[in-house]
Amino acid sequence: MFAWIKVQHQGIDVCINNAGLALPEPILSGKTSGWRTMIDVNVIGLSVCTREAYMSMKERDVDDGHIININSMSGHRVVPSANVHFYSATKYAVTALTEGLRQELREAKSHIRATSISPGIVETEFAYRLLRNNPEKAAASYASIKCLKADDIASAVVYVLSAPPHVQIGDIQMRPVEQTS
């Protein structure tokens, strides 16, 4: 993928890590394969893309790039639902990785910025995938409150990217007004 980007677009100036998934795999009874899948997508995939984006920027002397991790409110709190506890652990990792990235960029004397955007409930296919055996429950979770929309997250990305070059926005936590946790 990164080789193709280099050929087609010369490289990366902005990386938005938006892949993420939750599987209903509790800590006490979950399948190791499900845990590995979540780690591979939510932590390893994000880290590989971050590294490759940074290398692309460095190779081309881009010192004003931006790496944005689409995280989750689950990276800041743990809800009382066993099915998402392991997922929360992966999102806490994203919180730590974003701050670690920011520190490494400062140490490298880079002006590339690192931001985490942590939304609450966003009306996507996410709940349907998490609750794949119970689509009615997934639909009800979205119908119960006025959820965030993909456009709301896109607006947060635009906001972060439009900040002056000397402004580091570390984390945006956003959730629907009606969301309780």
87 catalytic, yes or no?
yes
Q: What is the pLDDT of residue 155?
A: 98
Considering the domain delimited by 2-174, tell me its CATH architecture: 3-Layer(aba) Sandwich (3.40)
Query: Does the structure show a pLDDT above 90 at 126?
Result: no
Annotated domain spans of the chain: 2-174
Whether 92 contacts 112, CB under 8 Å: no
54, 87, 142, 159: the catalytic one is: 87
Query: Does the structure show a pLDDT above 90 at 46?
Result: yes
Q: What is the pLDDT of residue 158?
A: 98
Q: What is the pLDDT of residue 133?
A: 85
Q: What is the pLDDT of residue 130?
A: 85
Beta strands in the chain (DSSP E): 14-17, 66-70, 113-119, 171-174
The model's pTM is: 0.94
Whether 5 contacts 12, CB under 8 Å: yes
